[in-house]
Each structure stands twice: as C-alpha cells, then as structure tokens.
Structure 1
Amino acid sequence: MNKLLYILFLFMLLGNHSLFSQEVINGLVVTDTTKMKEIDPLTPAKAAFYSAILPGLGQAYNKKYWKIPIVYGAIGTSMYFYLDNNKKYHSYRDAYKRRLAGFNDDQYQYLDDSRLVQAQRFYQRNRDLSLLVTIGFYVLNIVDANVDAHLIQFNVSDKLSVAPDVYQNEFTAKPNIGLTLNYKF
C-alpha cells in the first residue's frame, strides 16, 4: 500500500504538466497538441443507416456531396437496364404465348418459336443480372458511407510519417530497400 502511494505521488509530481490540455506561457494560451479528438463510435453506423434508408444520404451525412451523383448514376443506370430487359422479356414471352395459343399476329412474325424462346432466355438472364448489379450498387453505397465515416475519424497527424528509404549495405555495397517510421514527440 505504501509503495502504491509513493508511485502515485511520483506520478503526480513528475507528470503534472501533461494533466492539463492548455498551458499559459508568457501570457499566451498554448493548447496541447497531443490531446486526441473524441471519436463518436455511432457515426459510421448512422451514416450506413442513412444510406440504407435513402441512397446517397449517408454520403451527404459525411459531407461528401460529390459522391451523390455517382451513387444515383450507378443505381439509376442499372435500374434502367433492369426495367428495359424486363419489358423486352415480357414482350417476347407474350408473343410466344400467343403463338402457342394459335395466334400468328404478333410483332415478331419474322422469328420462329425457337428464336422467341432464345430471346426470352437472353432478356431474362440480362434482367436478373441487372437486378444483381443494382443490389450490388445499393450495398456498395452503404459500405462506402460506413467506411468513409470511419476514415473521417482516422487520426492523420503531421507527427507521424512513413517514408520509403534506399540505403547501401555496408558489407556488399548493394542497395537495400527499407521503410522508416518517424514519430515526433
């Protein structure tokens, strides 16, 4: 117990200057640059939730407004292809059904029955692929908002630097490649 009090007293005596975030030197207030900015752990989840509700809203929450047209362009383009392929699929399908019913007055009179079936399969496959791409862009929108909110909170300080370095080996006189990590206190 006595040892613990001695260590605490030493810590308070020697480390007193780092307990405060500001110091006054010659009438000037100097802020402590080592104090970290508070991180809100709910911010990435909130950005992802907003993007899930309305695509692009998470990007607006992160103040990355330039990404919103990209999100709507990607989702809108893939939705256009989904709707277009769906319309063509149903058009060929209805024509094939009418042929099977005995009518021969459809708009695809120049195609035989096997070509109508091939066209149905082609547009059905493209429609399904377009739906998967649309869902993929929607999920990518949510992931982008979440990752961007995480990276906003990432501490990028001038005190930390990583630099590649090429130096000469002392024994073989050949160049070696290395990586240096510098941290200024």
Structure 2
Amino acid sequence: MLFKKNILILFIAFYAVHSFAQKDSTDVKVNDVKILGNIKTSQGVYDPLAPSKAAFYSAIFPGMGQIYNKKYWKAPIVWGALAIPVYYYQINNNDYKRYRTAYKLRKAGLQDEFTLEDGSVLVSTETLETAQEQLKENRDFSLLSGIIIYVLQIVEASVNAHLLQFNTDDNLSIKPAFIPDPIQFEAPTVGLQIKFTF
C-alpha cells in the first residue's frame, strides 16, 4: 500500500511540474517575423542531396560521381585503379582454368597440355595442385581488391561532395610567420599566433 502511495505522489509531482513549467520565450511564429530589405549571402547554395547524388552516380558508373563533383581529373584515376584488378582477375582465372583442366585430364588418365607425346611430364601432379591453389588465391585477391576500390571511389565521391559545400577561404588557414620581439631582440622567442579573419 505504501508503494502505491509513493507512485501516486511521484506521478502527481511530475504532472504538476510539467503543467506549471514556463513557456519558451524564444518561441516565435513565422508569421511574426518581418524581413526588411534583401538578404545577401556570399556563399553558394547548400545542397544536402549533393553527396547522395555523387555516391549514387559513382555506384552506377565508377568515376561518374567524381565527374558530378567537377573533379574531372579523378575519373581516369578511378578507371585505371579498377582496370588493374580486373586485368589480373582475368589472367589468374584463365590460368586457373588451364591448370584445373590439365589436373582433371591427368587424373582421368588422359593426355593434358603439360604431357608430351612420348609420355614424359613437364609439370608434376603436385605442381598442378599447387598452381591451382595459388592461382585461385590470386584470383580471389584480385576480386577483393576490385570490390574495395569500387567502394572507396563511392565513399570518395560522397565525401568530396560534402567538403565542396564548406567555406575553404584562405583566411581560415593557419600560416606560420616569424614575428620578431622588439623588446628581446637579442634572445629570440618562439610562439604561436592564431588569427581568425571573418
């Protein structure tokens, strides 16, 4: 019974605090605000959908997000970076199929491309097995590399689209400078000065 009374008292207290709370004085209706004159902005228009568009274009066609961001020089880099794993994937896959076919033929007792007509063997069966394993590993690594580069170019296009909308004026940068101290000219001091210009 005591527990129920305590809960009832707490409920009433929370309700009372909420009902007698002050209203926010900054609560202004849009109809009450009047703007006199023209508002001028020095920066471009912020487009919140630009990063998602750049990522979408890069996902559809690699390098297209970089072109959308007007970083045209990055598109050939993306294409070249994606062409390398595709090239090595094809080479490793073709060689893997060659050695796999030769291994299957040899196990079936037939002549393969690594067996001469007189019956001598250029490549042993153990070497065929090892070559298959190594070529399959290289092929899978090329595929993984291609996927990672594909995802990275999507992320790069999205991040670049985000950063293009920020102010990157030279006044916001840190510039090192030597400022001599006129009082202690003989004994130079080292310091750091941060200057904000708006």
Structure 1 length-normalised TM: 0.74
Any residues of structure 2 matched to 1:63-142 within 5 Å, and which? 63-103=70-110, 105-109=111-115, 110-142=122-154
Judge conservation of contact 1:161–1:183 (CA < 8 Å) in 2. Answer: no
- The one of the two structures with greater contact order (alpha-carbon pairs below 8 A, sep at least 6) is 2
User: What is the CA RMSD across the aligned residues, in angstroms?
Assistant: 2.6
Judge conservation of contact 1:56–1:72 (CA < 8 Å) in 2. Answer: yes
Judge conservation of contact 1:167–1:175 (CA < 8 Å) in 2. Answer: no
SS in 2 for 1:70: helix
| Distance of 2:52 and 2:153 partners within structure 1 | 13
What is the match of residue 61 of structure 2? 54
Rate the CA distance shift 1:162–1:113 in 2: closer, same or farther, 3 A: same
How far 1:166 moved relative to its partner? 5.0
What is the match of residue 154 of structure 1? 166
Structure whose residues are more often strand by fraction: 1
How far 1:102 moved relative to its partner? 1.1
Q: CA-to-partner distance for each residue in 1:118-171, whole Å, 9 max, x for gaps?
A: 111111111011001111111111012111111211212244332224567989
| Distance of 1:132 and 1:159 partners within structure 2 | 43
Structure 2 unpaired stretches of 5+: 1-24, 26-34, 116-121
| Distance of 1:88 and 1:134 partners within structure 2 | 19
Structure 1 unpaired stretches of 5+: 5-15, 22-31
SS in 1 for 2:195: strand
Larger radius of gyration: 2
Q: CA-to-partner distance for each residue in 1:18-64, whole Å, 9 max, x for gaps?
A: x743xxxxxxxxxx5x6443211110111001100111111111111
SS in 1 for 2:168: coil
Structure 2 length-normalised TM: 0.69
Alignment size in residue pairs: 157
Identical-residue share of aligned pairs (%) = 46
Q: CA-to-partner distance for each residue in 1:86-124, whole Å, 9 max, x for gaps?
A: 110111111111111111x21123011110011111111
What is the match of residue 195 of structure 2? 181
